[in-house]
Structure 1
Amino acid sequence: MKIAVFGATGRVGRHFTELALEQGHELKLLVRNKQEWMDRDELTVHVGDARNSSDIGTTLAGVEAVFSALGTDKTTTLTDFVTALVPSMEKLRIKRVVTIGTAGILQSRTQPKLYRFQSGESNRKLTFAAEQHAAVYETFRDSTLDWTIVCPTYLPDGPLTREYRTEEDMLPVDGKQISTADTAHCAFTVLTESHSLHKRLGVAY
Protein backbone atom coordinates (compact mmCIF):
# COMPACT_ATOMS: atom_id res chain seq x y z
CA MET A 1 0.00 0.00 0.00
CA LYS A 2 1.17 3.55 -0.69
CA ILE A 3 0.50 5.73 2.36
CA ALA A 4 0.87 9.48 2.92
CA VAL A 5 2.22 10.18 6.41
CA PHE A 6 1.97 13.50 8.22
CA GLY A 7 3.75 13.97 11.54
CA ALA A 8 6.37 11.30 10.82
CA THR A 9 8.97 12.99 13.03
CA GLY A 10 6.81 12.82 16.16
CA ARG A 11 6.84 10.08 18.79
CA VAL A 12 3.90 8.11 17.37
CA GLY A 13 4.55 9.06 13.76
CA ARG A 14 8.11 7.72 13.79
CA HIS A 15 6.93 4.37 15.22
CA PHE A 16 4.18 4.18 12.59
CA THR A 17 6.65 4.93 9.80
CA GLU A 18 9.09 2.26 10.95
CA LEU A 19 6.33 -0.32 11.31
CA ALA A 20 4.88 0.43 7.88
CA LEU A 21 8.32 0.16 6.26
CA GLU A 22 8.97 -3.15 8.03
CA GLN A 23 5.72 -4.46 6.54
CA GLY A 24 6.73 -3.47 3.02
CA HIS A 25 4.60 -0.39 2.45
CA GLU A 26 5.69 2.61 0.39
CA LEU A 27 5.40 5.96 2.16
CA LYS A 28 5.24 9.61 1.19
CA LEU A 29 6.11 12.02 4.00
CA LEU A 30 5.48 15.73 4.39
CA VAL A 31 7.91 17.23 6.91
CA ARG A 32 9.18 20.65 7.87
CA ASN A 33 12.77 19.44 7.86
CA LYS A 34 14.21 16.31 6.29
CA GLN A 35 16.14 14.11 8.72
CA GLU A 36 18.99 11.72 8.04
CA TRP A 37 16.95 8.59 8.82
CA MET A 38 14.60 9.43 5.95
CA ASP A 39 17.16 8.55 3.28
CA ARG A 40 15.54 5.26 2.25
CA ASP A 41 14.37 3.98 -1.10
CA GLU A 42 10.88 3.23 0.25
CA LEU A 43 10.35 6.84 1.35
CA THR A 44 9.44 9.87 -0.74
CA VAL A 45 9.99 12.97 1.36
CA HIS A 46 8.46 16.37 0.63
CA VAL A 47 9.59 19.37 2.67
CA GLY A 48 6.77 21.79 3.25
CA ASP A 49 3.95 23.04 5.45
CA ALA A 50 1.12 20.77 6.59
CA ARG A 51 -1.22 23.77 6.56
CA ASN A 52 -0.58 24.41 2.88
CA SER A 53 -3.04 22.83 0.44
CA SER A 54 -0.45 22.65 -2.32
CA ASP A 55 2.06 20.80 -0.13
CA ILE A 56 -0.67 18.45 1.06
CA GLY A 57 -1.78 17.78 -2.53
CA THR A 58 1.78 16.96 -3.60
CA THR A 59 2.07 14.48 -0.74
CA LEU A 60 -1.29 12.88 -1.49
CA ALA A 61 -0.65 12.33 -5.20
CA GLY A 62 -0.76 8.63 -5.99
CA VAL A 63 -1.41 7.32 -2.46
CA GLU A 64 -4.15 4.94 -1.34
CA ALA A 65 -4.48 6.00 2.30
CA VAL A 66 -3.45 8.69 4.77
CA PHE A 67 -2.05 8.57 8.28
CA SER A 68 -1.51 11.62 10.48
CA ALA A 69 0.09 11.89 13.90
CA LEU A 70 0.20 15.67 13.87
CA GLY A 71 -0.47 17.23 17.26
CA THR A 72 -1.81 20.58 18.37
CA ASP A 73 1.58 22.10 19.33
CA LYS A 74 -0.34 24.81 21.28
CA THR A 75 -1.42 26.34 17.96
CA THR A 76 -4.16 25.83 15.38
CA THR A 77 -1.80 23.85 13.11
CA LEU A 78 -3.84 20.67 13.56
CA THR A 79 -7.21 22.15 12.62
CA ASP A 80 -5.64 24.19 9.81
CA PHE A 81 -4.13 20.96 8.46
CA VAL A 82 -7.36 18.96 8.59
CA THR A 83 -9.36 21.80 7.07
CA ALA A 84 -7.00 21.63 4.08
CA LEU A 85 -6.62 17.83 4.09
CA VAL A 86 -10.27 16.84 3.80
CA PRO A 87 -11.12 18.66 0.54
CA SER A 88 -7.76 17.60 -0.92
CA MET A 89 -8.54 13.95 -0.20
CA GLU A 90 -12.08 14.29 -1.52
CA LYS A 91 -10.81 15.93 -4.71
CA LEU A 92 -8.33 13.08 -5.28
CA ARG A 93 -10.91 10.44 -4.27
CA ILE A 94 -8.75 9.07 -1.48
CA LYS A 95 -11.16 7.71 1.11
CA ARG A 96 -9.16 6.16 3.96
CA VAL A 97 -7.58 8.26 6.70
CA VAL A 98 -6.43 7.37 10.21
CA THR A 99 -5.29 10.03 12.66
CA ILE A 100 -4.15 10.23 16.26
CA GLY A 101 -6.46 12.10 18.61
CA THR A 102 -6.83 12.19 22.36
CA ALA A 103 -8.96 10.27 24.84
CA GLY A 104 -10.50 13.60 25.79
CA ILE A 105 -12.72 13.54 22.67
CA LEU A 106 -14.20 10.13 23.44
CA GLN A 107 -17.69 10.06 24.92
CA SER A 108 -18.04 10.30 28.67
CA ARG A 109 -19.43 7.20 30.38
CA THR A 110 -20.96 9.23 33.20
CA GLN A 111 -22.28 12.04 30.99
CA PRO A 112 -22.84 10.43 27.58
CA LYS A 113 -23.79 13.65 25.82
CA LEU A 114 -20.40 15.15 26.63
CA TYR A 115 -16.86 14.54 25.50
CA ARG A 116 -14.63 13.20 28.26
CA PHE A 117 -12.71 16.48 28.44
CA GLN A 118 -16.00 18.29 29.15
CA SER A 119 -16.99 15.90 31.94
CA GLY A 120 -15.80 14.95 35.40
CA GLU A 121 -13.91 11.98 33.94
CA SER A 122 -11.04 14.19 32.84
CA ASN A 123 -8.53 15.91 35.10
CA ARG A 124 -7.63 18.23 32.25
CA LYS A 125 -7.43 21.87 33.34
CA LEU A 126 -6.43 23.33 29.98
CA THR A 127 -8.79 22.35 27.18
CA PHE A 128 -7.31 24.04 24.08
CA ALA A 129 -5.72 20.86 22.71
CA ALA A 130 -8.86 18.80 23.34
CA GLU A 131 -11.00 21.45 21.67
CA GLN A 132 -8.73 21.32 18.62
CA HIS A 133 -9.01 17.53 18.47
CA ALA A 134 -12.80 17.76 18.88
CA ALA A 135 -12.94 20.16 15.93
CA VAL A 136 -10.93 17.64 13.88
CA TYR A 137 -13.35 14.86 14.81
CA GLU A 138 -16.34 16.99 13.83
CA THR A 139 -14.72 17.87 10.48
CA PHE A 140 -14.13 14.21 9.68
CA ARG A 141 -17.61 13.27 10.91
CA ASP A 142 -19.17 15.68 8.44
CA SER A 143 -16.98 14.58 5.52
CA THR A 144 -17.33 11.80 2.95
CA LEU A 145 -14.10 10.12 4.08
CA ASP A 146 -13.62 6.70 5.69
CA TRP A 147 -11.94 8.02 8.81
CA THR A 148 -10.84 6.58 12.14
CA ILE A 149 -9.37 8.61 15.01
CA VAL A 150 -7.22 6.54 17.38
CA CYS A 151 -7.56 8.12 20.83
CA PRO A 152 -4.90 7.20 23.39
CA THR A 153 -4.91 8.36 26.97
CA TYR A 154 -1.62 9.13 28.82
CA LEU A 155 1.08 8.44 26.24
CA PRO A 156 4.54 7.59 27.62
CA ASP A 157 7.38 6.19 25.56
CA GLY A 158 7.56 2.43 25.92
CA PRO A 159 8.03 -0.89 24.16
CA LEU A 160 5.83 -2.44 21.51
CA THR A 161 3.76 -5.14 23.23
CA ARG A 162 0.85 -5.53 20.78
CA GLU A 163 -1.26 -6.21 23.89
CA TYR A 164 -3.79 -3.48 24.56
CA ARG A 165 -7.54 -2.90 24.65
CA THR A 166 -9.68 -0.85 22.29
CA GLU A 167 -13.27 0.38 22.41
CA GLU A 168 -15.14 2.36 19.80
CA ASP A 169 -16.08 5.90 20.88
CA MET A 170 -15.12 5.30 24.53
CA LEU A 171 -11.99 4.71 26.58
CA PRO A 172 -11.65 1.10 27.77
CA VAL A 173 -12.72 0.83 31.40
CA ASP A 174 -9.89 1.75 33.81
CA GLY A 175 -7.59 2.58 30.89
CA LYS A 176 -4.77 4.72 32.23
CA GLN A 177 -2.02 4.75 29.59
CA ILE A 178 -0.57 3.23 26.43
CA SER A 179 2.89 3.52 24.91
CA THR A 180 3.66 5.50 21.79
CA ALA A 181 4.78 2.26 20.09
CA ASP A 182 1.52 0.42 20.83
CA THR A 183 -0.51 3.46 19.79
CA ALA A 184 1.27 3.41 16.44
CA HIS A 185 0.67 -0.34 16.15
CA CYS A 186 -3.03 0.17 16.80
CA ALA A 187 -3.24 2.91 14.15
CA PHE A 188 -1.34 0.80 11.62
CA THR A 189 -3.61 -2.19 12.23
CA VAL A 190 -6.76 -0.09 11.94
CA LEU A 191 -5.55 1.45 8.69
CA THR A 192 -4.35 -1.72 6.97
CA GLU A 193 -7.29 -3.87 8.11
CA SER A 194 -9.91 -1.17 7.44
CA HIS A 195 -11.93 -1.54 10.62
CA SER A 196 -13.59 0.97 12.98
CA LEU A 197 -14.65 3.15 10.07
CA HIS A 198 -16.28 6.45 11.09
CA LYS A 199 -15.31 5.83 14.72
CA ARG A 200 -13.15 7.29 17.42
CA LEU A 201 -11.21 4.36 18.88
CA GLY A 202 -10.19 4.49 22.52
CA VAL A 203 -6.99 2.57 23.20
CA ALA A 204 -5.32 1.71 26.52
CA TYR A 205 -3.75 -1.14 28.46
Structure 2
Amino acid sequence: MQLLVIGASGRTGRHFIEAALAHKHRVTALIRKSSDLAPRTGLDNVYGDPRDPQALAVLLAQKDGVVSCLGQTSSKDDHLLRDSSAALIGAAKGREALRYIVVSQGLQFPTRNPMLVFLRWILAKYVADTADMETLLQQSALDWTIVRPPRLLEGGPPSGFRTNLGAMPPGRRSMQRADLAALLLELVETGAHRRQIVAVTAR
Protein backbone atom coordinates (compact mmCIF):
# COMPACT_ATOMS: atom_id res chain seq x y z
CA MET A 1 0.00 0.00 0.00
CA GLN A 2 0.98 3.64 -0.48
CA LEU A 3 0.48 5.38 2.89
CA LEU A 4 0.72 8.97 4.11
CA VAL A 5 1.59 9.38 7.80
CA ILE A 6 0.81 12.72 9.44
CA GLY A 7 2.65 13.40 12.69
CA ALA A 8 5.25 10.91 11.53
CA SER A 9 8.14 12.13 13.70
CA GLY A 10 6.23 11.71 16.99
CA ARG A 11 6.59 8.64 19.16
CA THR A 12 3.48 6.86 17.88
CA GLY A 13 4.20 7.89 14.30
CA ARG A 14 7.66 6.36 14.44
CA HIS A 15 6.28 3.06 15.70
CA PHE A 16 3.70 3.06 12.92
CA ILE A 17 6.33 3.70 10.27
CA GLU A 18 8.43 0.79 11.56
CA ALA A 19 5.40 -1.51 11.45
CA ALA A 20 4.32 -0.33 7.99
CA LEU A 21 7.80 -0.75 6.50
CA ALA A 22 8.07 -4.22 8.02
CA HIS A 23 4.88 -5.07 6.09
CA LYS A 24 6.50 -3.77 2.87
CA HIS A 25 4.27 -0.72 2.50
CA ARG A 26 5.53 2.49 0.91
CA VAL A 27 5.34 5.38 3.40
CA THR A 28 5.39 9.14 2.92
CA ALA A 29 6.07 10.87 6.25
CA LEU A 30 4.71 14.41 6.66
CA ILE A 31 6.91 16.22 9.18
CA ARG A 32 6.18 19.69 10.59
CA LYS A 33 9.68 20.65 11.72
CA SER A 34 13.26 19.47 11.93
CA SER A 35 13.48 15.77 12.71
CA ASP A 36 16.02 12.98 12.95
CA LEU A 37 13.68 10.66 11.06
CA ALA A 38 16.10 9.46 8.38
CA PRO A 39 14.90 8.56 4.86
CA ARG A 40 15.42 4.92 3.91
CA THR A 41 14.09 2.29 1.58
CA GLY A 42 10.32 2.56 1.43
CA LEU A 43 10.20 5.86 3.33
CA ASP A 44 10.03 9.39 1.92
CA ASN A 45 10.15 12.39 4.28
CA VAL A 46 8.28 15.56 3.35
CA TYR A 47 8.34 18.73 5.44
CA GLY A 48 5.08 20.63 5.49
CA ASP A 49 2.06 21.88 7.40
CA PRO A 50 -0.77 19.36 7.93
CA ARG A 51 -3.15 22.35 8.04
CA ASP A 52 -2.39 23.23 4.40
CA PRO A 53 -5.06 21.62 2.15
CA GLN A 54 -3.15 22.38 -1.05
CA ALA A 55 -0.02 20.65 0.20
CA LEU A 56 -2.09 17.69 1.41
CA ALA A 57 -3.86 17.40 -1.94
CA VAL A 58 -0.48 16.90 -3.63
CA LEU A 59 0.61 14.31 -1.07
CA LEU A 60 -2.66 12.37 -1.35
CA ALA A 61 -2.03 11.55 -5.01
CA GLN A 62 -1.86 7.76 -5.48
CA LYS A 63 -2.17 7.11 -1.73
CA ASP A 64 -4.26 4.20 -0.47
CA GLY A 65 -4.56 5.44 3.09
CA VAL A 66 -3.69 8.16 5.59
CA VAL A 67 -2.80 7.67 9.25
CA SER A 68 -2.70 10.69 11.56
CA CYS A 69 -0.70 10.41 14.79
CA LEU A 70 -0.67 14.17 15.38
CA GLY A 71 -0.46 15.56 18.89
CA GLN A 72 -0.14 19.02 20.37
CA THR A 73 3.41 20.01 21.29
CA SER A 74 3.07 23.73 22.10
CA SER A 75 0.57 26.48 22.95
CA LYS A 76 0.45 27.31 19.22
CA ASP A 77 -1.21 23.93 18.61
CA ASP A 78 -4.53 24.73 20.31
CA HIS A 79 -6.51 23.88 17.16
CA LEU A 80 -3.99 21.66 15.40
CA LEU A 81 -6.12 18.50 15.29
CA ARG A 82 -9.27 20.31 14.19
CA ASP A 83 -7.50 22.36 11.54
CA SER A 84 -5.49 19.45 10.13
CA SER A 85 -8.62 17.34 9.80
CA ALA A 86 -10.44 20.22 8.09
CA ALA A 87 -7.52 20.51 5.67
CA LEU A 88 -7.52 16.77 4.97
CA ILE A 89 -11.27 16.77 4.33
CA GLY A 90 -10.82 19.65 1.89
CA ALA A 91 -7.85 18.04 0.19
CA ALA A 92 -9.66 14.72 -0.26
CA LYS A 93 -12.68 16.10 -2.15
CA GLY A 94 -13.44 13.65 -4.91
CA ARG A 95 -11.47 10.93 -3.07
CA GLU A 96 -13.85 10.24 -0.19
CA ALA A 97 -13.13 6.49 -0.41
CA LEU A 98 -9.59 7.18 0.82
CA ARG A 99 -8.97 5.34 4.11
CA TYR A 100 -8.27 7.74 7.00
CA ILE A 101 -7.23 6.49 10.46
CA VAL A 102 -6.77 9.08 13.19
CA VAL A 103 -5.54 8.81 16.78
CA SER A 104 -7.81 10.53 19.29
CA GLN A 105 -7.82 9.93 23.06
CA GLY A 106 -9.71 7.88 25.63
CA LEU A 107 -10.57 11.04 27.57
CA GLN A 108 -13.30 11.65 24.99
CA PHE A 109 -15.43 9.00 26.68
CA PRO A 110 -17.75 10.26 29.45
CA THR A 111 -16.42 9.40 32.90
CA ARG A 112 -17.07 9.86 36.61
CA ASN A 113 -13.59 8.69 37.58
CA PRO A 114 -12.16 11.58 39.65
CA MET A 115 -8.66 11.17 38.22
CA LEU A 116 -9.93 11.20 34.64
CA VAL A 117 -12.19 14.17 35.37
CA PHE A 118 -9.15 16.01 36.73
CA LEU A 119 -7.11 15.10 33.63
CA ARG A 120 -9.88 16.39 31.38
CA TRP A 121 -9.71 19.69 33.26
CA ILE A 122 -5.91 19.90 33.06
CA LEU A 123 -5.95 19.03 29.36
CA ALA A 124 -9.09 21.01 28.54
CA LYS A 125 -7.70 22.67 25.39
CA TYR A 126 -6.41 19.36 24.03
CA VAL A 127 -9.68 17.61 24.85
CA ALA A 128 -11.66 20.36 23.11
CA ASP A 129 -9.43 20.26 20.03
CA THR A 130 -9.79 16.48 19.83
CA ALA A 131 -13.56 16.70 20.18
CA ASP A 132 -13.75 19.27 17.38
CA MET A 133 -11.61 17.04 15.17
CA GLU A 134 -13.86 14.04 15.78
CA THR A 135 -16.99 16.07 15.01
CA LEU A 136 -15.55 17.24 11.69
CA LEU A 137 -14.68 13.69 10.65
CA GLN A 138 -18.07 12.29 11.61
CA GLN A 139 -19.78 14.96 9.52
CA SER A 140 -17.52 14.28 6.52
CA ALA A 141 -17.84 11.73 3.72
CA LEU A 142 -14.38 10.28 4.38
CA ASP A 143 -13.81 6.59 5.08
CA TRP A 144 -12.58 7.34 8.61
CA THR A 145 -11.88 5.38 11.75
CA ILE A 146 -11.23 7.20 15.04
CA VAL A 147 -9.04 5.38 17.57
CA ARG A 148 -9.27 6.35 21.26
CA PRO A 149 -6.33 4.96 23.27
CA PRO A 150 -5.67 5.29 27.01
CA ARG A 151 -2.42 6.60 28.51
CA LEU A 152 0.41 5.70 26.14
CA LEU A 153 3.67 4.18 27.36
CA GLU A 154 7.06 3.93 25.71
CA GLY A 155 9.81 1.33 25.99
CA GLY A 156 8.04 -1.63 27.57
CA PRO A 157 7.49 -4.97 25.85
CA PRO A 158 4.49 -5.17 23.50
CA SER A 159 1.58 -7.11 24.97
CA GLY A 160 -1.01 -6.85 22.21
CA PHE A 161 -4.25 -4.89 22.30
CA ARG A 162 -7.97 -5.25 22.96
CA THR A 163 -10.61 -3.14 21.25
CA ASN A 164 -14.19 -2.15 21.99
CA LEU A 165 -16.84 0.08 20.47
CA GLY A 166 -18.59 2.76 22.53
CA ALA A 167 -16.50 2.52 25.70
CA MET A 168 -13.01 1.68 26.88
CA PRO A 169 -12.41 -2.06 27.25
CA PRO A 170 -12.31 -3.19 30.87
CA GLY A 171 -8.95 -3.70 32.49
CA ARG A 172 -5.74 -1.72 32.07
CA ARG A 173 -5.84 2.01 31.39
CA SER A 174 -2.53 2.21 29.56
CA MET A 175 -0.81 0.59 26.60
CA GLN A 176 2.46 0.60 24.70
CA ARG A 177 2.71 2.88 21.68
CA ALA A 178 4.00 -0.04 19.65
CA ASP A 179 0.73 -1.88 20.28
CA LEU A 180 -1.29 1.17 19.25
CA ALA A 181 0.74 1.33 16.03
CA ALA A 182 -0.03 -2.33 15.37
CA LEU A 183 -3.75 -1.60 15.63
CA LEU A 184 -3.49 1.40 13.32
CA LEU A 185 -1.76 -0.73 10.70
CA GLU A 186 -4.35 -3.49 11.05
CA LEU A 187 -7.16 -0.97 10.52
CA VAL A 188 -5.63 0.55 7.40
CA GLU A 189 -4.81 -2.88 5.93
CA THR A 190 -8.13 -4.60 6.64
CA GLY A 191 -10.57 -1.69 6.35
CA ALA A 192 -12.20 -2.79 9.60
CA HIS A 193 -14.40 -0.44 11.66
CA ARG A 194 -15.24 1.96 8.86
CA ARG A 195 -16.84 5.17 10.18
CA GLN A 196 -16.65 3.90 13.77
CA ILE A 197 -14.94 5.03 16.99
CA VAL A 198 -12.69 2.28 18.33
CA ALA A 199 -11.51 2.20 21.93
CA VAL A 200 -8.30 0.29 22.60
CA THR A 201 -6.17 -0.73 25.56
CA ALA A 202 -3.49 -3.29 26.37
CA ARG A 203 -4.31 -6.98 26.25
Q: Structure 1 counterpart of 2:89, which letter?
A: V
Matched residues, percent identical? 26
Matched, 1:101 2:104: yes
Query: TM-score if structure 1 supplies the norm length?
Result: 0.87
Cα 1:156/1:193, change in 2 over 3 Å: same
| Contact 2:105/2:149, CA 8 A, preserved across alignment | yes
TM-score, scaled to structure 2: 0.88
Match of 2:129 among 127, 132, 139: 132
* Cα distance in 2 for residues equivalent to 1:48 and 1:186: 26
- Is 2:183 the partner of 1:151? no
Q: Kindly indicate whether the alpha-carbon contact (under 8 Å) linking 1:8 and 1:31 is maintained by their aligned counterparts in 2.
A: yes
How far is the alpha carbon of 1:35 from its aligned partner?
3.9
Structure 2 CA distance, aligned partners of 1:198 and 1:155? 24
User: 1:19 aligned to 2:22?
Assistant: no
Shift, 1:160, TM fit: 5.2
Task: Give the secondary structure class of the aligned counterpart of 1:79.
Answer: helix
> In the alignment, residue 84 of structure 2 is paired with which amino acid?
F
Out of 73, 79, 83, the position equivalent to 1:80 is: 83
Distance 1:97 1:160, change over 3 A: farther
Indicate the RMSD between aligned Cα atoms, in angstroms. 1.7
Cα distance, 1:40 vs structure 2: 1.2
Secondary structure of the structure 2 residue equivalent to 1:12: helix
Which residues of structure 2 form unaligned runs of 5+?
none
Moved >4 Å (runs of 4+): none
1:49-80, Cα deviation, whole Å (9 max, x unpaired): 11111221222111011000001334211111
**Where do 5+ consecutive residues of structure 1 fail to align?**
107-115
Q: Deviations over 1:153-204 (max 9, x none)?
A: 1111134525221101211123310111111111111111111111111111
**Tell me, what secondary structure is at the counterpart of 2:152?**
coil
